[in-house]
Amino acid sequence: MYETTYHRAGSVADAVRMIADAEDGKFLGGGQTLLPTMKQRLAAPSDLVDVTKIPEMKGIREEGGQIVIGAATPHAEVAASDLVKSRLPGLATLAGGIGDPAVRHMGTIGGSIANNDPAADYPAALVGLGATVTTSKRTFSAEDFFIGMFDTALDDDEIVISVSFPAAEKSAYAKYPNPASRYAMAGVFVARHSDGSVRVAVTGAGHYGVFRVDGMEEALASNWSPDAVAGIHVDSGGMLHDVHGSAHYRANLVTVMAKRAVAAAG
Amino acid sequence: MRAVRQVLRQTETGKTGLRRISGTGGTGAFFGRETMAVEGIGARALRKEDKRFITGKGRYTDDIVAPGMGYAAFVRSPHAHARIRSIDSGAASVMPGVDAVLTGDQLVGDGVGNIICGWMIHSKDGSPMKMGGWRALEPEVVRHVGQAVAVVIADTLAQARDAADAVVVDYEELPSVTNAVAALGPDAPQIHPEAEGNLIFDWEIGDEAAVNAAFENAAHVTRMNIQNNRVVPNPMEPRAALADYNSAEEHFTLYTTSQNPHVARLVLSAFYNIAPEHKLRVIAPDVGGGFGAKIYIYPEEMVCLWASKRVNRPVKWACDRTEAFLTDAHGRDHESEAELALDSDNKIIGLRVKTVANLGAYMSLFSSSVPTYLYATLLSGQYNIPAIHANVKAVYTNTTPVDAYRGAGRPEATYLIERMMETAAREVGLSPAEFRRRNFVRSFPHQTPVIMCYDAGDYDATLDAALSAADYDGFAARKAEAASRGKLRGIGLSCYIEACGIAPSAAVGSLGAGVGLWESAEVRVNPVGTIEILTGSHSHGQGHETTFSQLICERFGIDSDSVAIVHGDTDKVQFGMGTYGSRSGAVGMSAIVKALDKVEAKAKKIAAHLMEASEGDIQIEGGELKVAGTDKKLSFTEVALAAYTAHNLPEGMEPGLKEGAFYDPTNFTFPAGTYVCEVEIDPETGKTEIVNFVAADDFGKIINPMIVEGQVHGGLTQGIGQALLESVTYGENGQLLTATYMDYAMPRADDVPSFNLSTHETLCPGNPLGIKGCGEAGAIGSPPAIINAITDAIGNNDLSMPAKPEKVWALYNSTMKQAAE
Amino acid sequence: MSKVSMVLNGKAVSADVEDRTLLVSFIREVRQLTGTHVGCDTSQCGACVVHVDGRAVKSCTMLAAQADGAEVLTIEGLASNGTLHPIQAAFREHHGLQCGFCTPGMILSALDMINRHGAGNLDEKTIRHELEGNICRCTGYHNIVKAIKAASDQMAGMAQAAE
């Protein structure tokens, strides 16, 4: 790791000022992706601004029918939250399956979505549930927030403060993990909302990160059952291909995980 | 009828051979509350070494600091094959904290020798193997990604790494090849000038004419192409070195992660010209696993020694995991064609094997022996095969060097013959168990057509035990039940045999080994009766401090707290050959037994003299030397003290009670057994779950069943890793694509089941304890059982390791598609 | 350089270190507590697991500065007054270690999972799943799983006896 300067921000305003003052600064959440990248010398920020101690970015609360999760909330807390478990069981499952227990104690939802790793889990939940991302400057719909592989709509000096999830009638997440890294090779989040609308969001498999599967959403809207998606296949042309699996295999996993997510949602 | 004794399906409390003189029997939860048990051969003695490891007091190489030490960071080739035009270390050498940037030109200029392979193999035309030059820092042509070309020594590790990044190496990239068969092709790039066409040797064993005759008369021939995938040993402790040169004494000390510190010293001194042996002390302290990878003397450790003198300060290097993937010797990597000839009774009459072995970019220390004498000599398996011929071509490629990894050659042989056996059985319509049984060796000694002479075994016994424990007969019902849940269930067998305790020295010397393969021991009885055992074996997880102590407890009836095992330091221990090839029990313990014999004889002489009795009447029991039939006795302490005070010794006897022994075995040992694997496959994803794994092993005499079981668990899991998960993958231009745990799948707790083990003892007649060895069996025997189970489940035999889900899924789908057409 | 202070195994410590110093380097090199190990660079192996404010974390994937002001527990701080923690004792009793390198991280992960699930509430499947972030190359996990189950059950018994 190259030398860097560590700052601990006490407030969002603090954090934004620290980044503005830095030559090439980066916000530091739990650091579970950023620090390994820096250790491999693939990233060399001049300054790190630790945002995990900012009170307004922590905690989980219910607000106007939405579940609001502070960006600095670690995955373990989301997974263990009674509120999340009861209102958005798919989100609790998803958070409880990220990395491993030690990673979940450090890694945060804000850090995860700001990095937008194409194999990360959270983007599937945000898109699947139609979440809203609140930043230090504005709000985004999830779909506007995620732009592409490792890319978001965030400005360099913009920080995620919280994510608001509308409560869903049913939600579930099924993930096929990479046997080495345990990141998603295909993770499918399904949700049915009280207005009957359905969302199916896929992570891990696509070239450009998280995406929705319209055909599955339509099929599930009229028939909420695993069988409804069993025959629906995504185009392998848009799927990742690497040492862990071909595009063709990943496309298959999307269908299989979608079936299992619907089954788990009940 | 059978000379087999069912030794155990030990329960947790079944402490055979346990004789407690007092003790707790509890959890051992207190530091001060050590058991005072006399735990001899066969006891499930808890490990003496554990307390330091569970409290963080282990002492591994990277834990050790020397005053004033600097840190090394290596500059490594990003190319698989390239000519070095220049190395510019100007900017790096003036960076903060930097002592020196050293390159291969300086290393060669200082007379440091090339890294060598220590086992000579001759091709079938009689020519010696073609060994290319390997320098610890390469000055001219790099031949694999990660090869070291320079080293930076600096005050801190971070400074060393910063400066290593600033060394500018100008490379002219050359074409590269990573696949061994491709490397033999006409268009392949030439890797070493010494080895034309990248062929290191073209070796053969067995009677080709006899095999050809057998195939002419065959009623059935089974043919397969079989790959054995390249894997990385991955001990959890990465390699490390702390080299300390004392200019006043012209003396070097090297702390390092070695399985065999004496061999390291010998090679560093005799071949690499670092220092004469008496000026070089090698210490291998606690070592965090080896599995073969820590046998060899690598460039980095050599460079640290040399650099320590160059910069006149101690130099520390600790490998990171990616460096380990790039530089630790890899394992396996064979491509074979195999043919098995059967007669009309389904008895095997011939086996023909052609193997191409990938040895990587350089010949590592024992690399040449692995695909030859450790491989082809085991192709007979547990079977009577009258004619075998094997041809092995060893090949250079632009990949990390390949050498012995847990099993070394024997897993490759076992995988080949056991997949052939299962396949042949299916082809001729016999049950895999029955087909194997029909061909078992049953009379001993048994001379195979490929050198080995099996000395003892009972293959029916381990097969019977395994089938029974696996409820083999009930499989059909389980398969049907699994099908009702949408799962594909399969069962597979593997009847392995291996050879351990490679020996005797004269024999391995005649086969090309550059060293003898004996072991040494010294038994030092101190004046107060405590005992130190100095052994040339090295423990890096095997628990020698416990099991070796059990030999002394057994012999003298003293408690294990009175015994210390000393190992891993060339200044303390007489010469030794280290630990690999499951040799510490069969060879290392035998040396201890020989030394104990001498100590016992002398102690009895002294006791007889002191008690005015006949030597033949002295018996040792419970820590006392007694005169049989009387109440006369002396404690072991009293006899030891008498030996050292020397006030009253038999006429002409030297004082002291200390004896040494060197033990050279008379033959290899032959552990064997049967493994049964049962799997369930998810047809939608191709993911395999091992739902039951049964191992029935014959390891000969077992000193500590608990430790033996642990060895089997670990070996099986490495075999599962190879069969299901682990695969070294090189990409275009020879880049290693699996160089971290993000991409190289290591078995984790949820990838493996709990195991069902048993042991069945036939004693090895070749050593005094009857030990065969247990360290590698699990890794040797398990891969074919797993693959046989998967191919059984999916009804398609065209499967290679690792059986990644995608591969299994695609094969199953193609089988279903064909069936539907 | 920054001053980093923490309570390490019950003792207040502080040192001036480069900001890039990892927590594991602070523990091993600055404080010379070498029971915490480094087995990989990518946060998979778990040899470096320690507890920060009562939760298991990978100390190779955390800056020392992030732990400024925290309470840190390493393997050296687990036994108290010469008495092994039940998990340490169980690892020995059940032969849950061989080379010992992964063991400190395994033990601290085990403590964390018992804390979260409650003593006595662990079955084999849960333990295996919970060990996702800890790699052992020696034991095949068989005896590690047994040791953790035994420790969990024993700790439940101890808690009950104390009531």
Q: What is the DSSP string of B560-587?
A: GGGEEEE-SBTTTSPP---S-TTHIIII
Write the CATH number of the domain with boundaries C86-162: 1.10.150.120
CA distance A35 to A29: 10
Residue C70: is its pLDDT beyond 50?
yes
Does domain B176-227+330-431 match CATH 3.90.100.10? no
What pLDDT, on the 0 to 100 scale, is given for residue B515?
A: 83
B12: pLDDT confidence band, cut at 50, 70 and 90? very low
CA angle B60, B64, B70 (to 5 degrees): 130
Q: Is the pLDDT of residue B3 over 50?
A: no
Give B503's pLDDT tier (boundaries 50, 70, 90).
confident
**Count of H-run helices and E-run strands, chain C:** 5, 5
pLDDT in tens, B205-233: 999 999 999 999 999 999 999 999 999 99
Q: pLDDT grade, residue B37 (50/70/90)? A: low
**CB under 8 Å, gap of 24 or more: what pairs does B424-430 form?**
B424/B220, B424/B222, B424/B340, B424/B342, B426/B797, B427/B220, B427/B222, B428/B220, B428/B342, B428/B346, B430/B346
CA distances from B541 to B579, B597, C137 (A): 11, 28, 10
Provide the pLDDT confidence category of residue B7 given band limits of 50, 70 and 90. very low
Strand A60-63 vs strand A151-152: parallel, antiparallel, or unpaired? Answer: unpaired
What are residue B616's DSSP bridge partners?
none
Q: What are the distances in angstroms from CA B75 to CA B72, B80, B165?
A: 10, 14, 7
Q: Do C63 and A3 touch (CB under 8 A)?
A: no
Does the structure show a pLDDT above 80 at B547?
yes
- At C13 the three-state DSSP class reads strand
The residue-averaged pLDDT of B414-435 equals 98
Tell me the pTM. Answer: 0.96
Q: Are B297 and B578 in contact (CB under 8 A)?
A: no
Q: Which residues contact C130 (CB under 8 A, 6 or more apart)?
A: A101, C109, C113, C117, C122
Whether the per-residue pLDDT at B507 is higher than 90: the answer is no
Radius of gyration of chain C (CA): 16
**Tell me, what's the ipTM?**
0.98
d(CA C150, CA C148): 5
pLDDT of residue B22: 34
Residue range B287-292: average pLDDT?
Answer: 97
The pLDDT of residue B219 is 98
Distance of CA C14 to the CA centre of its chain: 21
pLDDT at B9: 32
Average pLDDT estimate for C9-32: 97
With beta carbons less than 8 A apart as the criterion, state whether A125 and A112 touch. Answer: no
pLDDT of residue B106: 98
Structure tokens at B676: 């049964």
What pLDDT is stored for residue B786 in this prediction? 98
Q: Determine how β-strand C2-8 pairs with β-strand B672-681.
A: unpaired
pLDDT in tens, B444-454: 999 999 999 99
Residues with Cβ within 8 Å of residue A135, at least 6 apart in sequence: A154, A158, A159, A160, A161
Q: Is some CB atom of chain B closer than 8 A to the CB atom of A245? A: yes
- Give the C-alpha separation, B365 to B376, whole Å: 19
Instruction: Among B8-22, B380-394, B602-616, C70-84, name the one with the lowest average pLDDT.
Output: B8-22
SS in 3 state form for B213-271?
A: HHHHCCCEEEEEEEEECCECCCCCCCCEEEEEEECCCCEEEEEECCCCHHHHHHHHHHC
Best of A3, A37, A181 to substitute, by most chain B Cβ atoms within 10 angstroms, is A181
Domain B455-500+668-821 top-level CATH class: alpha beta
Q: Which residues of A touch B739 (CB under 8 A)?
A: none
Contacts of B714 in chain C (CB under 8 A): 98, 137-140
Structure-derived torsion over alpha carbons of residues B731, B736, B739, B742, reported in degrees to the nearest 10: -10
**Would you give the end-to-end CA distance of chain C in angstroms?**
49
Rounded to an integer, the average pLDDT of B742-751 is: 98
User: What's the whole-number average pLDDT of chain C?
Assistant: 97
Q: How close is the nearest chain C Cα to the Cα of A225, in Å?
A: 28
CATH of B234-327, one of 3.30.479.30, 3.30.365.10, 3.30.1540.10, 3.40.50.300: 3.30.365.10
B642-691 pLDDT, tens per residue?
999 999 999 999 999 999 999 999 899 999 999 999 999 999 999 999 99
The span from the CA of B806 to the CA of A249, in Å, is 6
Q: Residue C108: closest CA among chain A residues belongs to which residue? A: A102
Distance CA B307, CA B315 (A): 7
Q: Do A5 and C62 touch (CB under 8 A)?
A: no
Indicate the pairing of strand B280-283 with strand A132-135.
unpaired
**What is the spatial distance between Cα C67 and Cα C46, in angstroms, rounded to a whole number?**
18
Say if residues B118 and B513 touch (Cβ distance below 8 Å).
Answer: yes
Using alpha carbons, list the distances in angstroms from residue B88 to A43, A167, B74, B306.
Answer: 24, 61, 14, 21
pLDDT tens for each residue of B690-733: 999 999 999 999 999 999 999 999 999 999 999 999 999 999 89
CATH 1.10.150.120 domain range(s) in chain C: 86-162
Query: What are the structure tokens assigned to A170, written together?
Result: 């049913």
For residues C87 and C111, is the Cβ–Cβ distance under 8 A? yes
pLDDT at B13 over 60: no
Q: Which residue of B has its CA nearest to C150?
A: B27
Instruction: Give the gap in angstroms from C-alpha B545 to the nearest C-alpha of chain C.
Output: 12
Residue type, A96: G
Half-sphere exposure in the Cβ direction for B783 (13 Å, CA): 33
Contact assessment for residue A173 and residue A93, using Cβ atoms and an 8 Å cutoff:
yes
Q: Which one-letter amino acid corresponds to residue B80?
A: A
Domains for chain A: give ranges and CATH numbers. 5-50 (3.30.43.10), 170-265 (3.30.390.50)
Q: Which residues contact A210 (CB under 8 A, 6 or more apart)?
A: A118, A123, A124, A126, A127, A146, A201, A202, A203
Which residue spans of chain C are classified as CATH 3.10.20.30?
2-77
Torsion of CA B790, B792, B798, B803, to 10 degrees: 0
Look at strands B70-76 and B315-318 and give their pairing.
parallel
Handedness of CA B695, B696, B697, B701 (dihedral sign): positive
Q: How far is C32 from chain B (nearest CA, A)?
A: 8
- For B173-208, the pLDDT digits (tens) are 999 999 999 999 999 999 999 999 999 999 999 999
Pairing of strands B672-681, B168-173: unpaired
Residue B572 has pLDDT above 60, yes or no: yes
Which among B664, B752, B669 is positioned nearest to B716, based on CA atoms? B752
Cis preceding linkage at B504, omega within 30: yes
Phi/psi at B54 (nearest 5 deg)?
-80, -10
CA–CA gap between residue A236 and residue A258 (Å, rounded):
15
Q: Tell me which fold the domain B505-663 belongs to.
A: Aldehyde Oxidoreductase; domain 4 (3.30.365)
pLDDT for C55: 98
Looking at every residue in chain B, the average pLDDT score rounds to: 94
CB C56 within 8 A of CB C62: no
Residue B581's pLDDT is 85
What residues contact B776, with CB distance under 8 A and at least 6 apart? B406, B407, B408, B410, B411, B498, B500, B581, B582, B715
A-facing residues of C in 39-98 (CB < 8 A) are 41-44, 46, 49, 52, 55-58, 60-63, 65-66, 68
Q: How far apart are the first and last CA of chain B?
A: 53
C-beta of residue B665 within 8 angstroms of C-beta of residue B501: yes
Residue B524 and residue B531 in contact, taking contact as beta carbons nearer than 8 Å: yes
Question: Where along chain B do its domains lie?
Answer: 176-227+330-431, 234-327, 455-500+668-821, 505-663
Nearest residue of C to residue B62 by CA position?
Answer: C34
Superfamily (CATH H level) for C2-77: Beta-grasp domain (3.10.20.30)
Looking at the partner chain, which of B158, B685, B738 has a beta carbon nearest the beta carbon of A256?
Answer: B685
Give CA–CA dist B185/B174, Å, rounded: 17
How distant, in Å, are the alpha carbons of B84, B146, B170, B687 from that of B142?
7, 9, 12, 39
Any C CB within 8 A of A31 CB: yes
Do residue C34 and residue B56 have CB atoms under 8 angstroms apart? yes
Closest CA to B306 of B106, B519, B28: B106
CB–CB contact B745 A180 (8 Å): yes
- End-to-end Cα separation, chain A, in angstroms: 47
Phi, psi of B186 (to 5 degrees): -65, -25
pLDDT digits (tens, 9 = 90+) for B758-767: 999 999 999 9
CB B383 within 8 Å of CB B424: no
A-to-B residue pairs, Cβ atoms closer than 8 angstroms: 42
Sign of the C-alpha dihedral, residues A12, A18, A23, A27? negative
Reduced 3-state DSSP string for B412-456? HHHHHHHHHHHHHHHHHCCCHHHHHHHHECCCCCEECCCCCEECC
- Minimal-distance CA residue of chain B relative to A175: B685
Which residue is listed with tokens 């282990």? B58
User: Hey, which bits of B507-654 come out as E strands?
Assistant: 519-525, 531-535, 563-566, 618-621, 624-627, 633-635
A99 to chain C: which residues are within 8 Å by CB? Answer: 43, 133
Ordered per-residue pLDDT tens for chain A, 266 residues: 999 999 999 999 999 999 999 999 999 999 999 999 999 999 999 999 999 999 999 999 999 999 999 999 999 999 999 999 999 999 999 999 999 999 999 999 999 999 988 899 999 999 999 999 999 999 999 999 999 888 999 999 999 999 999 999 999 999 999 999 999 999 999 999 999 999 999 999 999 899 999 999 999 999 999 999 999 999 999 999 999 999 999 999 999 999 999 999 99
Residues of B in contact with C157 (CB under 8 A): none
What's the rounded Cα separation, in Å, for the pair B312 and B803?
51
What does the pLDDT look like over A72-100, one tens digit per residue? 999 999 999 999 999 999 999 999 999 99
Residue B582 banded pLDDT, cuts 50, 70, 90:
confident
Q: What is the CA radius of gyration of chain B?
A: 28
pLDDT at residue number B314: 98
Cα–Cα separations (whole angstroms), residue B246 to A93, B64, B250:
59, 17, 6
